[in-house]
Structure 1
Amino acid sequence: MSQRVFVRFLSILLVSALVGCAPATYRGWSEGSQYFEPVKQPPKQQPKNSATPSDTATCSSEYRVRSGDTLSKIALSCNIALAALAKANNLHPPYTLYVNQRLTVPFSGARLPDHQLSSVSQSLPNPGFVWPVKKTLKYAFVEDRSGLNGLRIYANVGEAVYAMDDGEVVYAGNGIAQYGAMLIIKHDNDYLTVYAHNDTLQVVEGAHVTQKQLIATLGKTGQVMEPQLYVEARYRGRKVDIKPMLEPVMHQ
């Protein structure tokens, strides 16, 4: 994926059906301009004998679109470049999808095998991140099915959340239901950091922030059962393991 892609960003992930609030250009993981198109209902004519992958096999070579999906969300969950997924399916902005539409997932050359992802994270440059909240709070590193860790921090609603490094806010909003109020910060070293489930956002898109600056307050927004902050790191658009990046600073 070209580094030029990251001069400015379109928002993912991670996806929205915001009404009356068009997404800003360049605030996502990869090329494109409109990732917030909702999935439309299928047309009347549908293929008859199409198999639906199970919830635990959503990243097989063929993916069947479900309600709430967007192309960027599918690319994110499968750890592949959105541009590669769009090209494999001859899709163009605004990447409109339909429920039950079948997509080809181009693993070859576009996605690293699961067993290689952790080792790739370990060989990345040190981003120099700091802990995003008070270090005394309860936390847990959580692995996805590729073995890559995100971070969950549990506390009362309103706990201060701080930027882990200097950067530019490339997304601030609640366009992805499962993540609630979320921030994405682009750093100068090709890293992105994601801060999800916030109660309030203290910065806006386009703002430049400094390391340890207050950016949000911890909350219970999105699809979670208790107040928490979810933090994820990405390098050149691909999710990487945040655990080795944050463990050294936990006791500083």
Structure 2
Amino acid sequence: MFFRLLLIAVLLATSACSSKTPGPGASVPKVMRGEYRVMRGDTLYSIAIRHGWNYKNLARTNGIRPPYSLKVGQVVRFDGRKSTYTANRRASSRARSRKPPPAPPSVTLRGWQWPMKGPVIRRFSSADKLNKGIRIAGTLGQPVRASLAGKVVFAVNNMRGYGNLVIVQHGTLYTSTYAHNSRLLVKEGQMVRKGQKIAEAGSSDAERVQLYFEIRQNGRPLNPLSLLPPS
């Protein structure tokens, strides 16, 4: 909780010093010291993005292996020191009695679907440091759907530069990002089907109703138009 409050303070300070709002893809200051204790609903991806880390680097630093499952109370460190998680006997007994959570479904680069119907008003550009996806024009409340099956690893309202934001992890390699929504319909940790309605279009932290959509492989932005079917 301390580091979440620290991150919010940094973002507010940055906002006060500049009137220019960064677009999606703007970096968050990387936390390089201290630790974070996992709370209910946290995912490795949500912890990483809030603290300026690539989730795979954070997993490697803490010795967390795919599918990157976390336990409530587990300590995630940012200073490179190894951490261990030792549950008490009662908690360990409860954990043994539970079935392990299902791993995110495996996916390939085939089968992506459009997250929302509408014209593309801004295309992908590898040279653009702030915008690493595409923008699709829409109407207020229009359905935003998961482009592939996966697990919601980040769902937050009013994130600077993104507005109401959802990130879905597909297997261990890919993520898709859906920003500027008017309303989120899923929570972190929730499994979603391909085509499932996960949000409603809006203009949160944007100049018009639109969907900012991103696909990444191992943290590297891909051109969504090369993966989506012809419109």
* 1:147-186 matched pairs, under 5 angstroms: 150-174=133-157, 176-186=159-169
* Residue 242 of structure 1, CA deviation: 1.7
Matched, 1:26 2:43: yes
**For residue 240 of structure 1, what is the aligned residue in structure 2?**
222
Matched, 1:250 2:230: yes
Change (3 A) 1:186 1:127: farther
8 Å CA contact 1:181, 1:199 repeated in 2: yes
Q: Which amino acid aligns with 1:181?
A: N
**Residues 195-224 of structure 1: CA deviation (Å, up to 9, x unaligned):** 0111000111111111111110111112x2
Change (3 A) 1:217 1:27: farther
Distance 2:159 2:195 in 1: 25
* Residue 149 of structure 1, CA deviation: 5.4
* Residue 159 of structure 1, CA deviation: 1.0
Matched, 1:143 2:125: yes
**For residue 193 of structure 2, what is the aligned residue in structure 1?**
210
**For residue 226 of structure 1, what is the aligned residue in structure 2?**
208
Distance 1:133 1:35 in 2: 24
Q: Which amino acid aligns with 1:228?
A: Q
Change (3 A) 1:221 1:241: same
Q: Please give the secondary structure, in 2, of the residue aligned with 1:28.
A: helix
8 Å CA contact 1:181, 1:198 repeated in 2: yes
Distance 1:184 1:140 in 2: 20
**Residues 133-174 of structure 1: CA deviation (Å, up to 9, x unaligned):** 12x445431314269951101122211101101111111103
Distance 1:231 1:28 in 2: 17
**For residue 13 of structure 2, what is the aligned residue in structure 1?**
none
Q: Which amino acid aligns with 2:204?
A: T
Distance 2:40 2:52 in 1: 15
Distance 2:109 2:204 in 1: 31
After TM superposition, the score normalised by the length of structure 2 is: 0.55
Matched, 1:193 2:169: no
After TM superposition, the score normalised by the length of structure 1 is: 0.51
* Residue 26 of structure 1, CA deviation: 2.8
Distance 2:202 2:44 in 1: 23
Distance 2:110 2:174 in 1: 7
8 Å CA contact 2:133, 2:221 repeated in 1: no
Distance 2:210 2:216 in 1: 20
Change (3 A) 1:165 1:131: same
Distance 1:174 1:243 in 2: 27
Q: Please give the secondary structure, in 2, of the residue aligned with 1:206.
A: coil
8 Å CA contact 1:172, 1:203 repeated in 2: yes
8 Å CA contact 1:15, 1:175 repeated in 2: no
* Residue 189 of structure 1, CA deviation: 6.0
* 1:36-75 matched pairs, under 5 angstroms: 36=50, 71-72=52-53
**Residues 40-65 of structure 1: CA deviation (Å, up to 9, x unaligned):** xxxxxxxxxxxxxxxxxxxxxxxxxx
Q: Please give the secondary structure, in 2, of the residue aligned with 1:168.
A: strand
Q: Which amino acid aligns with 2:207?
A: M
Unmatched 5+ stretches in structure 1: 1-11, 17-21, 37-69, 85-91, 96-124
Distance 1:81 1:241 in 2: 23
